[in-house]
Amino acid sequence: MATIGLIGGMSWESTAVYYRLLNEGVRARSGGLHSADVLLHSVDFAPIAEMQAGGDWAAAGAALAASARRLQAGGASCLVLCTNTMHKVADRITEATNLPFLHLADVTARAVKAAGSKRPLLLATRFTMEQGFYRDRLKAFGVEALVPQAPERDEVHRIIYEELCRGRIEPASKARYLAIVERAVREEAADGVILGCTEIGLLIGQGVCAVPVFDTTALHVAAALDFTAELERAAA
């Protein structure tokens, strides 16, 4: 089997979901006792979060590039970065190895386009909502992502770092996220919602919103399974 290399730990709460979904996906596809062939390097999130807050993206990129090299040395066939925000330093990762890198914004954009959504609301960390590295990547696929209003962005960001990344799932925060989505649908004609932080799927999901929900964690996992299946077919 091809080996999926996971750069995780940012936070481990969502990395655990990646691991579960990968194994569930392999079992659904192959049956029996089959499970995913995975290498995981899970970093300590605290120093990475400090680098994010301090704007030291060069140091953060160097840390994840080192993680990528460890996974390549361990025999990974491709790289999956288990966080939307840290795709800001995706170039540092792709420069560090010659492994295929499954960019989460590309995976998400293709799913949004396939669903016919043109103006999805992007819920994510402040970095992902406000900086261009992610939204510009979506735009290259023709996806014009909306973002919440400034006070809403503050609340979305706070809930991610103070609650979801710490394993706290609060009903009041779920209600707040849903209210933000409902306002964007009503006032800005949002026609979808991108869960642009891998922890947000712990709080809301498909069926709780009036528009399609694009769970980036689930989309990334499906793309990784498709990619490694293609590698295996080519090697057969």
* Confidence grade of residue 206 (pLDDT, cut at 50, 70, 90): confident
Do the beta carbons of residue 197 and residue 167 sit within 8 Å? no
* Confidence grade of residue 235 (pLDDT, cut at 50, 70, 90): confident
The side-by-side arrangement of strands in the sheet containing 193-195 is 121-123, 193-195, 213-215
* Confidence grade of residue 169 (pLDDT, cut at 50, 70, 90): very high
- For the record, the structure tokens of 124 come out as 């994510």
Q: How far apart are CA 236 and CA 218, in angstroms?
A: 27
The model's pTM is 0.96
pLDDT digits (tens, 9 = 90+) for 46-70: 999 999 999 999 999 999 999 999 9
Catalytic site positions: 83, 197
The separation between the first and the last C-alpha atoms of the chain, rounded to the nearest angstrom, is 10
* Confidence grade of residue 170 (pLDDT, cut at 50, 70, 90): very high
